[in-house]
Structure 1
Amino acid sequence: MGQPKIRNMEEFAAISGISRPTVSKYFNDPDSVRSSTRKKIETALKKHDYQPNVFAMNQNRRKTKNIGIVVPNLADPFFAEIARRVELACIEAGYSPILLSSHGSPAMERDNLNSLRALKPAGVLLAPFGRMSDTDAIKAFDADFPLVLFDANMAGIGQAFVGTNNFQSIDLMVEYLCRSGEPPCFFEMKFPSNPNANKRRQAYLESMARHRQTPRIFQADGEGWNFEEIGSTEGGRLLAENAFGTNTVLCSNDRLAIGMLSAAYGLDLRVGHGAECHLRIAGHDDHPFSRFTCPPLTTIAQDYDGIANRAVSGLFRMLEAEERLPSREETLFEGRLIMRDSA
C-alpha cells in the first residue's frame, strides 16, 4: 500500500509532527525557521510527496504573491515573447505569475480583470487594447490594485507605463529608407487593433516632413488580429494595381509586412536590394519570425528585455513601498534598426 495522499497543510503538519504555524511559516519563507526544523520539513515533504496549494495559501493571506499578466492576444508571437520575459522576471523575484490572454476581445480583457480580482493579486501588468478597452473597468481596477501598463498606453491609467518610443523608431526607419532608396509609403490597417499604429502613422508623417518628402498613406480594409491575411490580400491588391507610387513600402507592423511579402511572391515581384528587385518592404517590431521570412525582413527591434524588466521593477517598487508611486511614470525605450535583405 502506498502513502495516503495528503490533502492540505493541516494533514501534512500532523503527519510530520510539526506545528501548523511552523509549517505555514516555512512555506511563506523557508529561511524564517531554524535550520534543523527546515531540514525536518523538507525531509517530510520528500517522504510524503506533498506540494501545498499555492493559490489557496495566497487566498488566506491579506496580501498575495500572485502577479496578473494580461495581454491582448497570446497567439501573437510578439505578445507571447514579451509575456514570457515578464513571467520569468516575476518568477525570479519569487512571485506567482498568472498569465491571461484576452484573445482579441476587449470584453474578455474586462472579464480577465474581474477574474484576477477574485485571486487578490499583489499587482497586475496589463497590455491593454487601448481605445477598444473598457476604460471604466480598467480605471476601477487601477483604483483597487497596483497596475502597470505596457506596450499600449492609456492616458492617466495605471501607476506606470512602459513601451517603445514609436516616434524615434519610425523616424529611424524612414531616415534609413530615404537615404538608401526611394522614400517609403506607409501601409496600415484602416481600423488598427493596437493604439501604437496611430502613433506610428503620425510619426511617419512628421518624419517625411522633416525629410521634405511627400507622405503616402494606404489603409487596408479589415480589422482584428489576422494581420498576415490582411497584408497579403489588401497589400497584394495594391501591388497588383501599382498603387503605391514608390518601390518602398513601410508597413505599420511586421505581421502586415509578412503578409505583403507573401503577396509579392505570388505576383512574381522580387523583394530586396539591387537593380533586379522590384520592391523594398520594411516593418516594425522585430517579430520572432521576421528573420526567417523570404527575404528576411528589415524592421525595428523593440527592446523586449528592457520593457519587461522595467514594467516588472516598477510594479515591485510599489509592492515593496506598499504605496503608489509619487507620480505616474512613463518609460519609452528606443527602437533599433535591423537591416535585412527585404529593404
Structure 2
Amino acid sequence: MSSIKDVAKLAGVSVATVSRVLNDKGYVGQSTREKVEKAIKELNYKPNEIARSLFKKQSNTIGLIVPDIMNPFFPELARAVEDMATKLGYNVILCNSDENREKEQAYLDVLKQNYVNGIIVSSNTLTAEQIGELNIPIVSIDREISKGLPTIVVENKKGAIIATRFLKNKGCKRIGHIRGTYGVVNAEERCEGYTDVVAEEPWFRKSYIVNGNYDMESSVEATRELLCLHPEIDGIFAANDIMAMGAIKAAYQLGKKVPEELAIIGFDGITISTIMTPELTTIAQPIYEMGELATTILVSLMEQQSIEKTYYTLDIELIERKST
C-alpha cells in the first residue's frame, strides 16, 4: 500500500504539498497539482481518512443512533440511511443505544471525537440540552426530542385508529391492545388512538391494555396474561409488528387459532411480517422513505443549505394479510 511519502517522491514535491492538494488547503500551482494528482492515480493512493479527519476536524461521516438493533424496523431504517448517505458521498457509523441514557451519551461523545458531520437519532432519552452541546446538525427520526429540531415521524394516532376500527369492521367484539414502552411518544400516541375507538364501548376495561415494552418476548407474556384475564378477547392491536408476532406466538401456546378465534394487527410494516405464518396484517410506515428523508435533510444542514421545514409527518398504510 502506497504512502503519502511515496506520492511526494514520485511527484517530486514535499509531503506538505501533497497534503495541501489532498485537503485543498493553501496555494498549489496548477502544474504541481497535476503532478501530484497523476502520482496519486499511478500509485492508487488512498488517503488515511482518520488522519484527514483529525486535520480538518470533520469527516465525511454521519452517525446513526437507534434504540434497539434487534427490532427489524431499525435495520431497515439503517439500510435506507446508508443507501442515501452513500449516494451523497458520506459514510455511516451505526450505534445501538438500548434506550440507555449513559450508553447514548457515550456514543454521542465518541461520534463527536471522531468529527462526524451530523447525527440521525431515534431516542426517547436525549434532551434538547444535549443536542445544543453537540453543536453539529442533528435530525430526529421516529420520535420527537424538542421543538425546532428537524424531526420525521408518522401518523401514529391515525394509524392506531385505523387498526382498531379495522378489527371492529372485521367483526371483533372485544379488542385488546398491547402497548409500547411507557413514556415513548409514539407508544403513547398509538395507545391514545386505540382508546379513542374503544373507550365508550360497554365492554372496555383498562385491563384490556397491557405493556409489551416494544419487545417480542415481553409481548408473549403480556398476551398470555391478557387472554387469561379476558378470554373473551377476539381481536388484538399491537403497537408494533414485533409485539404482534409475540401475540401470535402466545395465541398458539394457548391453543387459539389466528385469525379464526383471534385477529391480530401490528404497526410498522417490517419485511419479516410477510414471511411469518400467518402473514401479519399491519399499519405500514414508509420506513425507507423516512431514512432517505432524514439523511437528505441532515446532509443539507451539514452543507449549510436551507431546508423546507423542520417537522415532517408521513402517512401510514393499512396492509391486510392473513392474521386478520
Q: What TM-score, normalized by structure 2, do the two folds share?
A: 0.85
Matching residue of 1:185? 176
For residues 268 and 212 of structure 2, the distance between their equivalents in structure 1, rounded to whole angstroms, comes to: 21
- String of CA shifts for 1:106-149, please: whole Å, max 9, x gaps: 21111111111112221111111x1x3455323422xx111111
State yes or no: 1:154 paired with 2:145: yes
Identity of aligned residues (%): 25
User: Secondary structure in 2 aligned to 1:162?
Assistant: strand
Matching residue of 1:330? 311
User: Secondary structure in 2 aligned to 1:108?
Assistant: helix
Matching residue of 2:194? 204
Q: 2:289 aligns with which of 296, 303, 306?
A: 306
User: What is the Cα deviation at residue 213 of structure 1?
Assistant: 4.4
User: What is the Cα deviation at residue 39 of structure 1?
Assistant: 4.6
CA 284–216 in structure 1, closer or farther in 2 if over 3 Å, else same: farther
Q: 1:17 aligns with which of 11, 31, 36?
A: 11
CA 112–18 in structure 1, closer or farther in 2 if over 3 Å, else same: farther
User: Secondary structure in 2 aligned to 1:192?
Assistant: coil
User: What is the Cα deviation at residue 288 of structure 1?
Assistant: 2.8
> What stretches of structure 2 of length at least 5 have no aligned partner?
25-29
Matching residue of 2:226? 238
For residues 53 and 172 of structure 2, the distance between their equivalents in structure 1, rounded to whole angstroms, comes to: 58
Q: 2:216 aligns with which of 228, 231, 238?
A: 228
Matching residue of 1:138? 131
CA 78–120 in structure 1, closer or farther in 2 if over 3 Å, else same: same
Matching residue of 1:282? 265
Q: What TM-score, normalized by structure 1, do the two folds share?
A: 0.81
Structure 1 segments, 4+ long, off by >3 Å, are 18-29, 33-40, 132-136, 191-194, 212-223
User: What is the Cα deviation at residue 281 of structure 1?
Assistant: 0.8
User: What is the Cα deviation at residue 246 of structure 1?
Assistant: 3.2
For residues 186 and 236 of structure 1, the distance between their equivalents in structure 2, rounded to whole angstroms, comes to: 13
Matching residue of 2:323? 342
Contact 2:76/2:288, CA 8 A, preserved across alignment: no
Q: How does 1:94-105 map to 2 (within 5 A)?
A: 94-105=89-100
Matching residue of 2:74? 79
Matching residue of 1:43? 42
For residues 205 and 38 of structure 2, the distance between their equivalents in structure 1, rounded to whole angstroms, comes to: 69
Contact 1:65/1:122, CA 8 A, preserved across alignment: yes
Contact 2:67/2:122, CA 8 A, preserved across alignment: yes
CA 207–25 in structure 1, closer or farther in 2 if over 3 Å, else same: farther
User: What is the Cα deviation at residue 157 of structure 1?
Assistant: 6.0
Q: How does 1:253-292 map to 2 (within 5 A)?
A: 253-272=240-259, 277-292=260-275
Matching residue of 2:27? none
CA 94–68 in structure 1, closer or farther in 2 if over 3 Å, else same: same
User: Secondary structure in 1 aligned to 2:153?
Assistant: strand
For residues 88 and 12 of structure 1, the distance between their equivalents in structure 2, rounded to whole angstroms, comes to: 34
User: Secondary structure in 2 aligned to 1:315?
Assistant: helix
User: What is the Cα deviation at residue 167 of structure 1?
Assistant: 2.0
Paired amino acid for 1:109:
E
CA 222–321 in structure 1, closer or farther in 2 if over 3 Å, else same: closer
- String of CA shifts for 1:222-276, please: whole Å, max 9, x gaps: 75x6x111111121122233x164311101111111111111111121101xxxx
State yes or no: 1:92 paired with 2:87: yes
For residues 75 and 16 of structure 1, the distance between their equivalents in structure 2, rounded to whole angstroms, comes to: 50
Matching residue of 1:61? 56
For residues 143 and 176 of structure 2, the distance between their equivalents in structure 1, rounded to whole angstroms, comes to: 24
For residues 75 and 22 of structure 2, the distance between their equivalents in structure 1, rounded to whole angstroms, comes to: 31
> What stretches of structure 1 of length at least 5 have no aligned partner?
none
The alignment yields a C-alpha RMSD, in angstroms, of 2.8
- String of CA shifts for 1:66-97, please: whole Å, max 9, x gaps: 21111112222111110121022111101122
For residues 307 and 18 of structure 2, the distance between their equivalents in structure 1, rounded to whole angstroms, comes to: 35
Contact 1:185/1:216, CA 8 A, preserved across alignment: no
For residues 280 and 311 of structure 1, the distance between their equivalents in structure 2, rounded to whole angstroms, comes to: 34
